A = this chain, B = another copy of it.
């Protein structure tokens, strides 16, 4: 009796970003009641080894846990799976190759949104590991878009902020993000929030200047809704609320 087109969310990296993706899917779906919402099965089992610690410092690989959760979601009926974690997309090709479900990439969805906005250059806030693996830079390069990243010192406070949010301290997280935010505000016309903790940390800034941000978790939510629309023939995606919101509806 599993609903048709069940979407699996391979989350827990971190849990707050996982709940944020759920909220964004819900808020961006036009409904008149509960029953029309998109069916989700959300794994927020956070015992997945730290992605950055593995990629940068040789810690345990998260891949076995990611594969395990992918299979669990598929076994429970998910026919499409998304991951609200940018860094984890380093393993996206391997997961996609192993998956029987379709998989939607947060990186592709976000770069496509920047491309559609017609930008030739964009700033990038992300984890050290996302920057080091070039996940965004190579996708942006293919799309002919230049990428600006914070200098090394400023990047350090980005990481401190992301870890503060993961530790449940949004106030400290926001203080840490001030310098990288100002840096990119000066250097770029728009910023990719290329880590799913960042839209939670910079929620107020995003509300104030929606057109300045490409929120990767929001573009993933939009990709989920579009995928579901494509399968069901329904029209569900809300038009953007803010004028000048560059994230396409």
9 closest cross-chain pairs (CB), A and B = A42-B42, A14-B34, A39-B45, A19-B22, A37-B46, A1-B68, A40-B44, A34-B46, A15-B37
The reply to whether the CB of A183 lies closer than 8 angstroms to some CB of chain B is no
CB-based nearest B residue for A22:
B19
Q: Max chain B CB contacts within 10 Å: which of A23, A48, A50?
A: A23
For this complex, 21 residue pairs linking A to B, each with C-beta atoms less than 8 Å apart, are A1-B65, A2-B68, A6-B45, A12-B37, A13-B34, A14-B33, A15-B22, A19-B22, A19-B23, A26-B168, A29-B168, A31-B166, A34-B48, A35-B46, A35-B48, A37-B44, A39-B46, A40-B42, A40-B45, A41-B42, A72-B77
- Contact mask A84-117 → B, CB, 8 Å, 1/0? 0000000000000000000000000000000000
The reply to whether the CB of A76 lies closer than 8 angstroms to some CB of chain B is yes
The reply to whether the CB of A18 lies closer than 8 angstroms to some CB of chain B is yes
When A50-B35, A75-B76 are in contact, do A3 and B45 touch as well, CB less than 8 Å? yes
CB-based nearest B residue for A32:
B167
Is A22 a contact of B31 with CB atoms below 8 Å?
A: no
The reply to whether the CB of A30 lies closer than 8 angstroms to some CB of chain B is yes
Cα-based distance from A217 to B135 in the complex (angstroms) = 38
Cα-based distance from A227 to B31 in the complex (angstroms) = 35
Interface size class of A (residues with CB under 8 A): 35 or more
Cα-based distance from A1 to B22 in the complex (angstroms) = 24
Is A167 a contact of B33 with CB atoms below 8 Å?
A: yes
Q: Max chain B CB contacts within 10 Å: which of A13, A15, A163?
A: A15
The reply to whether the CB of A16 lies closer than 8 angstroms to some CB of chain B is yes
Contact among B6, B18, B33, B72 for A76, CB-based, below 8 A: B72
The reply to whether the CB of A43 lies closer than 8 angstroms to some CB of chain B is yes
Is A34 a contact of B50 with CB atoms below 8 Å?
A: yes
Cα-based distance from A76 to B218 in the complex (angstroms) = 28
The reply to whether the CB of A27 lies closer than 8 angstroms to some CB of chain B is yes
CB-based nearest B residue for A28:
B168
The reply to whether the CB of A244 lies closer than 8 angstroms to some CB of chain B is no
Shortest beta-carbon distance, A38 to chain B, in Å? 8
Is A2 a contact of B167 with CB atoms below 8 Å?
A: no
Shortest beta-carbon distance, A127 to chain B, in Å? 12
Contact residues in B for A2 (Cβ distance below 8 Å): 45, 68, 72
The reply to whether the CB of A144 lies closer than 8 angstroms to some CB of chain B is no
The reply to whether the CB of A47 lies closer than 8 angstroms to some CB of chain B is yes
